[in-house]
Every structure is written in structure tokens, then in C-alpha cells.
Chains A and B, each alone.
Chain A
């Protein structure tokens, strides 16, 4: 059940109405049932995985809390890690690792072949396993008390708005809100609806229309000239942003109507002055997860220069691997490591300030520079293989044949893209629901009307899934 389908348009209001009609003590049952139903709408069988993962982490948490010594807690943490990472490995990375081993065997003329598995990747597995892992690790370190109520714990793992593509919430942040009694709030309803409408707009009108152009380019880059490919890869930067940002704010808006505040996952990332800032604004729930559970435990930046460089690369490469089982994702992560290092060196050498006045010329130039880096690096993320990425770059650098004009971009696509870029600049360090609240009534309603009309009339009609669902 995608957010941009009629099923969700029917499902969400039913859940919200029942939520406020039910006495507080039964609401967790409703939300858990709704979340499992939501998850089962993809593939019935995969509910077993999420229930299994929930039970293991629930039991591990309770067992860990029984012991004060870390050494006695450790086996339960390992159980949780093995279970979650094992499931993730099996479903997401097994074929990738097997294929690479098979290639190696083939190279050394070894006749062994590891068989490949033929199953669909369970939707959202990377998200909910990371969410439960953070709980287990926090309980292990004593930062978090174990949850005794299995229902609430299961709901923390599976809360439907953020189940399949985040934001990846911490237990301490989400569960108290799930347990708290929320009365119906008109303000929450309005703000939630504002976010949902804006999210649907940027997903269905911006991302899905850009997708048609991007898909053409990546399907056969050799057919397009340099300018077309540059246009296509720039469009992808906006496509993936509007796609994932759209999903995130629909999730945030849906939860907000029920009084539950999820963390912001994006803060106008293309307005970042450097890569470090980009990662503080892009997929924030994942980057803070890596910071708290990987980078800082490895020592962060309070280590030797060499170790710090190592830590940075580990974090970016693991982030790449998290995204997908392909060498292109590993290269994508590693490239961020390289650019991060380069920028750190250049900033130090030229004593570039960290802060500039928003919208100043320097800010805009630095943001453009970041956008160019990110766009180039996205090529590896979007390409199906390393060779495809190289073909893209090769055509950018060599195919200047202006007589080839294969790319037909509708005027509406350009118009909406420009609108999106302007809106993103306007929303710098803000969020749509807060921003529009300060707009006078008539223009505000005019904006709502235009957004809703555009969603209905200009949405891409193919079955565009959310890009991050594949992770």
C-alpha cells in the first residue's frame, strides 16, 4: 500500500477516525493491527519476519535489563544483532555476496557455485531492522529501559507511517508518544494535512514526472548528447529528493494528525554549503543513526588523523552498503568519503567559514558546488552497474552532437521543477506546514487549491514506487 494510492487514501482516514473514537487503552491495538495490515498489503508472508524480529528484540531487551554487567548482557545483544543483521544479510545481501564469490570461483576455475535465492526483498527491512537495533544497543548500554509491554514494543517496530521508509525513530523518542493519550487537535489535523498534500505534490507531480525523463536517459545513455545527459542526471538529483522527501513528510503528516511527532528527515539538503552539512540535512534519521551507533563508538573524530579518516570511510561505505547490494552503492558511499575529506582539507587550507548569511552570494555558490558534487555522485547510485555509470560520464564528456535531440521534456515538467526549486529555497530551515501557516488566508487557500489540482491533474500515472522502498 503506497502512500500515493487510493488504498492509502481510504486506509488513513479510517485508521485516524477509529483512533480518536477508541478509548486510549485500546489505541495501541488499533495501530498495531493497522500497521500489520499495512505491511501485509505488500506480501502477506513477510509479516512473519517482522514479528520474529520484534520477539527476539523484545526478549533480548528484557533479558539484558536483568543483568547489570555488560558481559552478561552481551550474549543477548549478540542475539539481537545476529537476528537482525542475519535477516538483512539473507534477504538483501546473500545474492550479492554469492554472485561475487561465484565470479571469483569462475576466475580461479573453481567449479563450485553458490546457488542464488529467488525471493523479493521484504519492503522496509533495512529501516525496521535499524530501528530495532538502536533499541537493543541502547538497552545494552543502559541508555534505554527495556519495554515490558510487548504490544507497544511491536508497535514501535511497525508503526505504519514510518515502517517501510523511515524516518528511523529512536525508541525513547517514539514510544512515549505512542503511549501518551492524544486528544483530537484541529491544529494537528490541519498541519498533518498540509504536510500530506505537499508530500503528495512533490512525490506525484515532481518526482514521478522527472522519473520519466531520468528513466529514458539511464535506459540508453548512448542515444543522448552531453547536454541531455547532464539534464537527466540533474533531474535525478531532484527526483530522488522529491521522492524521498515526499514520502517522509507524508509519513510525518500522517502521524502528526494522531498527535505523534516524527523526526524531520530532510532540511533543504541542496542548500548545503558542503558535504558535511549535506549529510546533516539529507536522510537525517539515517545519518544520525550511523553517527550514534557506528561513528561515535569507533571514536568519532577524537582519534588520530589516520583513524579518523578510516572512521569516515567506514561510515560512508557502510551507508552505501545499507542502501543496496551492489558495488555502485559502495562506490557511491566511498565517493562521499573522498569528497568529505577533500572539502575538509580545502576548508582548512583556505580557512573557509562554516557559516554564511543565508541566501548570500557565497551561500548560493557553495550550495551550487555541493549540488554538482552530489549530482555526480548520484550517478553511481542510480546506475545499475559500474559500467553503466561510466557510460554516462563517457557520453557527457564525448557526445557533443547537438543534432541528436532525443529528449522531449514537457513544459509542465519544467514549470513544476522550477516551482519546486523556488519552494525549496523559500522553505530553507523551515517546513511547509509552518511556512504556510504565516501566509494570509486567501493566498494560502489558493496554494492549497493549486497543489490539489496539480496532484490530481498532473501526477505521473505509471506505477512509480517510492525509490527508498527498495532499501
Chain B
């Protein structure tokens, strides 16, 4: 190569470097946030966590899913807060996610956050081939590209050039089917099937009969599904989830967090009924492996595997970790008891059957506990930085939902509400609402007009008497309703039952 060529190439390389630096600056400042909101909005779930956290609970849909007739519909993370009333407990939920997603989200928790204890959902089923090669993986991986710890322009380049795991549904299916054949199942006793495919085929062609002696197709299908969901043995060297959880361990060490892996409950009762001891052997041996593996790495592993009864699983014809109220209570209690080792002074024993609360306060800084948290806005605040913004399309303010039947009748005579509000303009549509619900009975609703004052923060107070006919009701809901078009902000929402 002659000198001129070398000079030409050198000039171009220098230009390229300058160009990339400038482009990164332009992209970071003018385009990155818009892309984040379009392609990786999941980050908002991390951003919405206040920086004064003591405990963060991260999980998938198992955290938030409830049964329609649950009285206490709160997520597990909010229930854990009951056990540590003086600590700030927040939840991050990303449906259908797994350790590979958690590790990226967790790396985005700001360094200023005071977080001390991190509880990570350890979902046994997420280690199976069908989940690892799930068709949800492509969009999940895509949503993570912009969040990786590299310069924004580089991340956008990787997103533009599809540098993430893209596979068609057909390709994913081929992957997990291959794994069902490849991964041999090893039992300490003689087992007639070599792998999941053989086991699945064997059970499918066996005679599982219903009460009338006919082949029970629904039960057969469910049995096969349990085989595919739990018929695996974790190989710590090759299972991608292990690597991701290991990365979380490293991150926790680096950030000096107490790390807790919350091994979720699985429907072992139904599994045993359908498939006997073989499936239970696999589930339990995987549990032991995970417990041992991560305990050796200094992680506190909470074992919930067999704690929830079949009747407390919401999905009865599928394998999920979706628990009804009692299931979520049990898990919250078990996790809280385990992590109390870090917070002996703050831990309060709770028995969900007899314990009740009579004082509630929400200053909108913690979006995890009350419903309608999507109304929380940073536009104005009476205290802190946020308030609940209602009007136009968001009719309902942050809403307290509480199983009022937990409170003895003699202790519930009235509900006193104090709140601060601020409207943009005259608002004649503002109402404080009390709803009382009971299974098998019509709900009772009481409205209190909130008088318009001025454009400043104004205090509103009301007292709702709990008459005898209401005392037997199960659930209380309290919120501010604004069906008008004038935007109104609600803050420092205080509710006392006495």
C-alpha cells in the first residue's frame, strides 16, 4: 500500500470516529428516549420505583395475577410490605419474563437507589425447554436491546441490524422439540421412558379414563402438559437461565444487595395426582439442585415449591404460577419470614386470617400498593413529587381496595377521609366514592361531592358511616371520581376506619 492510500484510510478512520461520537451525542439527546418509549417501555416499570427502596421484589405475572373473586387482589410484593410496615417495599413486574430479562432490568436500578434487599422470582418452569425456546422470546429480546449497558447509538445500531435472538415460531418449536428428545431423563429407579418425547407419547396413548370409563382427553392433555412443563433436569453448565441468575448474583454482589431467590410454588398436588411420583421426583430434584447451587453462592433461597394447594391455583387446566389470594398470602408470608433475617427489628408477624389494618395513607410516591397507579403523575404534588391525575379519560384516582371483613364489626363504625386536591379550573364533577362489595349481594356505593375551591391545593374531608347492613360486606373501595374534563390532582389520601 502506498502512503497516499494509508493517508486516505487514516483520514477516513478519524472522520468515522468523530462522526460516531457526534452521532451518539445527537441520538442520545434527541432520539433515544423516544425509541425507549417505543421499543423498550418496560424500563418505565423500573423508573417508577422510588429511590428510597429497602426491598424490591421482581417477578413475572405470578406477582400480580389474582382470581376474580379474591377479596385481597394485591400483588405478592404489596403483601410483603404488610410484614415490614416501616420499610419501603416496591415491586417490578414484567409478564412472561425470566432471569435474562430481570438481569437487564435490575442493572437499570439507579446507583442512588437505597435498595438493600432484592427478591427475585425463581420460576422452576422457566428452566424448561418450551419456555427457553418460547415464541415470546423474540419480542422480549428485542425489547431489551436498547437497555443494554452500551452507548445508545451502539444499542440502536444493534436494534436496527437485528442483533438479538430472532427466530420464527416454527424454528422455536423445532428447538424445544429437539431438546425433548436430546435431554435424557435420569431416575434413581427404572423408568420406562428415555426422554420427554417418549414419556409424552406414552402417556398420550395410555388409557386415562373419566368417571364413565371413557378416555379422558382433557386429563390426558393436561398430564402431557405437565410432562412438558416439568419433565427436565437442570444442567447448570448448559441451561441459559443458570447463567442469567449467576449474572444477577454478580450484580447483587457488585451493588451490595442482599439477594433472595424466591422459588415459586408449583402445583405439585395436581402433578402427583396426574403423573405420580415420577414428575414429583424431577420437580423436587431440580429444587434441591437450585437451592444447593445458589445457597453455595451466598443467595438466600426461599422454597415455596409445595406450599400452595391445588385449589389455590387460578389456572386449573394449565401449568402456571398464578395463585389465588390465599396462595399469594402464603408466599408473601414465607418470603417475609425468610428475609426477616435482614430486618429483625422491622418484621411484624401477620396472620392474614386475623390481622387487619385501619389506617391507610398514600402520598402517591409509592405506586405499588393502591390500584389505579397509572394515574400517578409528576405534574404537581402536595407532598413529595407526585400526585394522582384524573379527568378526561382517567376517571378514577388511586384506589384503596381493602377486605373490610377482616376488621371486627365493633371496630368499624365510620370511615374518615382526608385528602388534598387541586383542579385546573372549576370542576363540578368531582366526587369521593365509597364502594362496598359482598359476594352474592348488590354492591353499595356512596358519593360525596367535593366542593370546588380554587387553583391551590385544598383539603377535603368526609366521614362515611358504616351502618349495620354494610358491616357484613367483604370489600371496601375508596377513590375520587372525576368524569368531567377538568384535570384534577389528588394527593396525601388518608383513610381511617374506626
A positions within 8 Å CB-CB of B: 2, 4-6, 9, 120, 186, 204, 445, 449, 452-453, 455-457, 459, 461, 463
CB closest residue in chain B, given A455: B160
Given the complex, which residues of A lie within 8 Å of B153, measured CB to CB?
456-457
B157 located at the interface, meaning its Cβ lies under 8 Å from any Cβ of chain A in the complex: yes
Given the complex, which residues of B lie within 8 Å of A459, measured CB to CB?
160-161
Decide if A5 touches B27 in the complex (CB within 8 Å): no
11 cross-chain CB contacts under 8 A: A4-B162, A5-B162, A6-B163, A452-B19, A456-B153, A456-B156, A457-B23, A457-B153, A457-B156, A461-B159, A463-B138
Q: Which of B1-30 contact A (CB under 8 A)?
A: 5, 8, 15, 19, 23, 26-27
Given the complex, which residues of B lie within 8 Å of A186, measured CB to CB?
5, 8
CB closest residue in chain A, given B162: A5
Decide if B158 touches A6 in the complex (CB within 8 Å): yes
Please, how many angstroms separate the alpha-carbon atoms of A6 and B8 in the complex? 27
Cβ of A238 to closest chain B Cβ, rounded Å: 20
Please, how many angstroms separate the alpha-carbon atoms of A445 and B203 in the complex? 67
Given the complex, which residues of B lie within 8 Å of A120, measured CB to CB?
170
Please, how many angstroms separate the alpha-carbon atoms of A160 and B23 in the complex? 32
Please, how many angstroms separate the alpha-carbon atoms of A320 and B229 in the complex? 47
8 Å CB contact of A4 from B26, B39, B161: B161
Cβ of A49 to closest chain B Cβ, rounded Å: 18
B453 located at the interface, meaning its Cβ lies under 8 Å from any Cβ of chain A in the complex: no
8 Å CB contact of A457 from B8, B31, B163: B31
Given the complex, which residues of A lie within 8 Å of B142, measured CB to CB?
461
B444 located at the interface, meaning its Cβ lies under 8 Å from any Cβ of chain A in the complex: no
B166 located at the interface, meaning its Cβ lies under 8 Å from any Cβ of chain A in the complex: yes
Decide if B23 touches A5 in the complex (CB within 8 Å): no
Please, how many angstroms separate the alpha-carbon atoms of A456 and B20 in the complex? 11
Decide if A445 touches B163 in the complex (CB within 8 Å): no
Number of interface residues of B (CB under 8 A): 22
8 Å CB contact of B27 from A4, A449, A457: A457
Cβ of B383 to closest chain A Cβ, rounded Å: 39
CB closest residue in chain B, given A3: B161
Please, how many angstroms separate the alpha-carbon atoms of A302 and B421 in the complex? 88
CB closest residue in chain A, given B160: A459
New A-B pairs, 9, CB < 8 Å, besides A449-B23, A453-B26, A455-B160: A5-B161, A5-B162, A120-B170, A456-B153, A456-B157, A457-B23, A457-B160, A461-B160, A463-B162
Cβ of B37 to closest chain A Cβ, rounded Å: 13
CB closest residue in chain A, given B2: A186
Please, how many angstroms separate the alpha-carbon atoms of A452 and B22 in the complex? 13
Please, how many angstroms separate the alpha-carbon atoms of A461 and B144 in the complex? 13
Decide if B161 touches A9 in the complex (CB within 8 Å): yes
Q: Which of B317-367 contact A (CB under 8 A)?
A: none
B positions within 8 Å CB-CB of A: 5, 8, 15, 19, 23, 26-27, 31, 39, 138, 142, 153, 156-163, 166, 170
Chain B CB within 10 A, most for which of A9, A445, A453, A461: A461
Cβ of B259 to closest chain A Cβ, rounded Å: 33
Given the complex, which residues of B lie within 8 Å of A5, measured CB to CB?
161-163
Decide if B27 touches A445 in the complex (CB within 8 Å): no
Please, how many angstroms separate the alpha-carbon atoms of A5 and B166 in the complex? 10
Cβ of A466 to closest chain B Cβ, rounded Å: 13
Given the complex, which residues of B lie within 8 Å of A445, measured CB to CB?
15
Given the complex, which residues of A lie within 8 Å of B19, measured CB to CB?
449, 452
CB closest residue in chain B, given A205: B160
Decide if B39 touches A461 in the complex (CB within 8 Å): yes
Please, how many angstroms separate the alpha-carbon atoms of A445 and B166 in the complex? 34
CB closest residue in chain B, given A8: B161
Please, how many angstroms separate the alpha-carbon atoms of A120 and B160 in the complex? 26
Given the complex, which residues of A lie within 8 Å of B158, measured CB to CB?
6
**Known contacts A120-B170, A463-B166; is-contact A453 B23 (Cβ 8 Å):** yes
Decide if A456 touches B23 in the complex (CB within 8 Å): yes
Cβ of A470 to closest chain B Cβ, rounded Å: 13
Decide if B166 touches A204 in the complex (CB within 8 Å): no
Please, how many angstroms separate the alpha-carbon atoms of A456 and B163 in the complex? 12
Please, how many angstroms separate the alpha-carbon atoms of A74 and B166 in the complex? 46
Decide if B161 touches A6 in the complex (CB within 8 Å): yes
Given the complex, which residues of A lie within 8 Å of B8, measured CB to CB?
186
Cβ of B176 to closest chain A Cβ, rounded Å: 17
Given the complex, which residues of A lie within 8 Å of B163, measured CB to CB?
5-6
Given the complex, which residues of B lie within 8 Å of A2, measured CB to CB?
162
Given the complex, which residues of B lie within 8 Å of A461, measured CB to CB?
39, 142, 159-160, 162
Please, how many angstroms separate the alpha-carbon atoms of A4 and B31 in the complex? 21
The 6 A-B residue pairs with the shortest CB-CB distance, nearest first, are A459-B160, A6-B163, A6-B161, A5-B162, A456-B157, A463-B166
Please, how many angstroms separate the alpha-carbon atoms of A2 and B19 in the complex? 26
Given the complex, which residues of B lie within 8 Å of A456, measured CB to CB?
23, 27, 153, 156-157, 160
Please, how many angstroms separate the alpha-carbon atoms of A445 and B160 in the complex? 22
Cβ of B263 to closest chain A Cβ, rounded Å: 35
Given the complex, which residues of B lie within 8 Å of A455, measured CB to CB?
160
Decide if A204 touches B170 in the complex (CB within 8 Å): no
Given the complex, which residues of A lie within 8 Å of B15, measured CB to CB?
445
Please, how many angstroms separate the alpha-carbon atoms of A459 and B23 in the complex? 15
Given the complex, which residues of A lie within 8 Å of B159, measured CB to CB?
461
Please, how many angstroms separate the alpha-carbon atoms of A2 and B166 in the complex? 12
**Known contacts A449-B19, A461-B39, A461-B142; is-contact A6 B27 (Cβ 8 Å):** no
CB closest residue in chain A, given B174: A43
CB closest residue in chain B, given A184: B1
Please, how many angstroms separate the alpha-carbon atoms of A453 and B170 in the complex? 34
8 Å CB contact of A204 from B5, B39, B160: B160
Given the complex, which residues of B lie within 8 Å of A452, measured CB to CB?
19, 23
Given the complex, which residues of B lie within 8 Å of A9, measured CB to CB?
161
Please, how many angstroms separate the alpha-carbon atoms of A363 and B159 in the complex? 41
CB closest residue in chain B, given A118: B170
Please, how many angstroms separate the alpha-carbon atoms of A459 and B39 in the complex? 13
Please, how many angstroms separate the alpha-carbon atoms of A9 and B23 in the complex? 20
Cβ of A172 to closest chain B Cβ, rounded Å: 34
Cβ of A45 to closest chain B Cβ, rounded Å: 11
Please, how many angstroms separate the alpha-carbon atoms of A461 and B157 in the complex? 10
Please, how many angstroms separate the alpha-carbon atoms of A449 and B21 in the complex? 12
CB closest residue in chain A, given B39: A461
CB closest residue in chain B, given A454: B160
Please, how many angstroms separate the alpha-carbon atoms of A285 and B90 in the complex? 62
Given the complex, which residues of A lie within 8 Å of B156, measured CB to CB?
456-457
Please, how many angstroms separate the alpha-carbon atoms of A120 and B142 in the complex? 25
Please, how many angstroms separate the alpha-carbon atoms of A457 and B155 in the complex? 10
Please, how many angstroms separate the alpha-carbon atoms of A449 and B23 in the complex? 9
CB closest residue in chain A, given B146: A461
Chain B CB within 10 A, most for which of A120, A452, A455, A457: A457
Given the complex, which residues of A lie within 8 Å of B26, measured CB to CB?
453
Cβ of A185 to closest chain B Cβ, rounded Å: 11
Please, how many angstroms separate the alpha-carbon atoms of A456 and B160 in the complex? 6
CB closest residue in chain B, given A2: B162
Cβ of B141 to closest chain A Cβ, rounded Å: 11
Please, how many angstroms separate the alpha-carbon atoms of A450 and B27 in the complex? 13
Cβ of B136 to closest chain A Cβ, rounded Å: 15
Please, how many angstroms separate the alpha-carbon atoms of A455 and B153 in the complex? 11
Cβ of B115 to closest chain A Cβ, rounded Å: 32
Given the complex, which residues of B lie within 8 Å of A463, measured CB to CB?
138, 162, 166
Please, how many angstroms separate the alpha-carbon atoms of A5 and B145 in the complex? 14
Decide if A6 touches B162 in the complex (CB within 8 Å): yes
Given the complex, which residues of B lie within 8 Å of A453, measured CB to CB?
23, 26
Cβ of A296 to closest chain B Cβ, rounded Å: 41
Cβ of B123 to closest chain A Cβ, rounded Å: 27
Cβ of B170 to closest chain A Cβ, rounded Å: 7
Please, how many angstroms separate the alpha-carbon atoms of A224 and B461 in the complex? 50
Cβ of A85 to closest chain B Cβ, rounded Å: 27
Given the complex, which residues of A lie within 8 Å of B170, measured CB to CB?
120
Cβ of B399 to closest chain A Cβ, rounded Å: 32
CB closest residue in chain A, given B19: A449
CB closest residue in chain B, given A120: B170
Cβ of B423 to closest chain A Cβ, rounded Å: 32
Given the complex, which residues of A lie within 8 Å of B23, measured CB to CB?
449, 452-453, 456-457
Cβ of B175 to closest chain A Cβ, rounded Å: 13
Please, how many angstroms separate the alpha-carbon atoms of A333 and B15 in the complex? 49
